[in-house]
Structure 1
Amino acid sequence: MGTGEGGISDVTERVSREFRVRLPEGVEAVSVLGHADELLRLVEQECAVRIIARGHDLVVRGEGRGAEEAARVLRELSVLSRQRPVDAQDVRETLRRLREGGAPLTSAGTSALLVTPSGKPIGPRTPGQTQYVEAMRAHDLVFAIGPAGTGKTYLAVAMAVMALRDRRVQRLILVRPAVEAGEHLGFLPGDLTAKVDPYLRPLYDALYEMMGPERFQRLSERDIIEVAPLAFMRGRTLNDSFIILDEAQNTTHEQMKMFLTRLGFGSKAVVTGDITQIDLPRERPSGLVGVQTILRDVEGIAFVHLNERDVVRHDLVQKIVKAYERYGEGPRRPDA
């Protein structure tokens, strides 16, 4: 306590508070606190509290609102841990929602769509991602637009793998515009695989993780899975397929129309892209920008817009995306 001018006392009361969180039956402390208590330490750091684990009881001690926030985070994580493993991203996202008055993370529909061969569950982790997954379930054509790290391609591949597993489609077709080569691959050195691999590698990575490389290889050899440049879709009709067009901001109007008219009977298509990352020449308008106006009133088509709140990569990615949005960064184009 200090005394200021005129004898007025500066009184700042620091009230120590204690909360007790009881873990639900069947939930182990390690699933909430992390290996070597890494999540416990993160909550302590973010909320400026001390947490003591006593069996299935977690005692939170701290000053001000920090102790209450920490207790609410621990309760949220204990519920979430019944659905899937929790991590540092869940701690930070839960805190952000609490502080901004958003819905709890457990309301985001966090159940897994599938489990990878390594045991990793894959599913939506934010309300925006949940909306995206529900749109893919309900519509034959979905556009997902948003920044890097929001799960646009990853969740689309998960839905495609699940559809193939459940025999709702007979083929998976994943395509990207090879914009760096202007979609003209003939002049590049090497055979076809060597030419297209650099442009398609992110799609391969997602499929390898969700299916395992051996199963992916078997299905590719039988043409059940096809990963190819967008130019290879011209003149085809794709029936009973789950088709993903990734990096669609780099399609022209003509390429976008060509792709969308490939959709055949029994097929679903998902188009993903980030309209702040357009690599086309300035005089070539982006097909992903234009399609939002052209198809916005067409029944049976869904547009989902994701933002920095849906970023689920390293927590720095969310901060970077937000900083660029504040700055107004991104290619300034007449069509954007």
Structure 2
Amino acid sequence: GVAPWLQALGRLERLRERWVERLEAHRKAEIPGRGPVREALEGLFGVPGWWLDAGPWARVGEAVRELGRLRRPQELTLRVQAHRAERPAVLRELRDAGVPVSPTPRSPWGIRVAGRHNVLALPAVREGRVEVQDEGSQLVACLCDPKPGERVLDFCAGGGGKALALAAAMGGRGEVVAHDADRARLRDTRRRARRAGLGNIRVEASAEAVGRRAPYDLVLVDVPCSSSGTLRRNPDVAWRWNAEDLGRLTAVQAEILDRVAGWVRPGGFLVYVTCSLLVPENQAQIEAFLARHPEFAPAPLGDRTGHEPLLDLPGAEAGILRLPANLPRYTGDAFFLARLGRLGS
């Protein structure tokens, strides 16, 4: 019968209420190494203890605000292809089709879709004028600030979403080289570039060939990471890795940074990105890189759109920022971005 299930749900709800009361009573306290407050954080938000140790928070209330936001459902977000359409016109088109939409307050290209809709069937998507893309990924491309005619490398391109956004922001002029260690994912990049009408994307499966084409004006590395900032759309990510895996991931990230550093032309930029909350993958990784590579220094974030989407974030003026999930008016993934300029000219 259902009675045992209802009883179990009742016990779970009472346990949840105790966790909430415990955290509220200790919200100004530092996160303890063990005990009932720590157990409440782990239990309420479904995260392992090592996340609490590696996260950017010092106090219980800070962790509650950010982890709580990451447990909320995520809204579907679209990106208008800047070289083919303008956002106001696409908004009108989608509203006329009965889709409830609104402009994203952070990304200059984004559109939020309320509720559930088969957006892949919309003409704007089928014709390549609009792509499905998280607002955080859109902001990464925006803050890379690529210029028409430049040579750009997206070294960890995955399915090509950010490479497409970079190429569109360049107005289809110049060249974006897209590379990923997983060659199967690059096939999707080719298909999406054709649909978007972007002829300035070159897909290159060989890392050696990518290096031979250096130097580049801009190198983007959206490195493999714990993906802890994507918790709202990947609830299992909290248990996909352990503390030992984090050590292996940070080693891979450092290796990628060292590899591409020499491919940036003097006066060019290296942009490092993770969709992670965790300090070892973010601030600590960049501090170690700058110690190894004195030819690089943090550079102010670029943004030719005039949208100025992140000026209210600490670190934006210095080129190193963490986009927290609890940022007002923001519904995308949490991520970290560092824009580093190579000294010289």
Normalising by structure 2, what TM-score?
0.29
Larger Rg: 1
Which TM-score applies when normalising by structure 1? 0.30
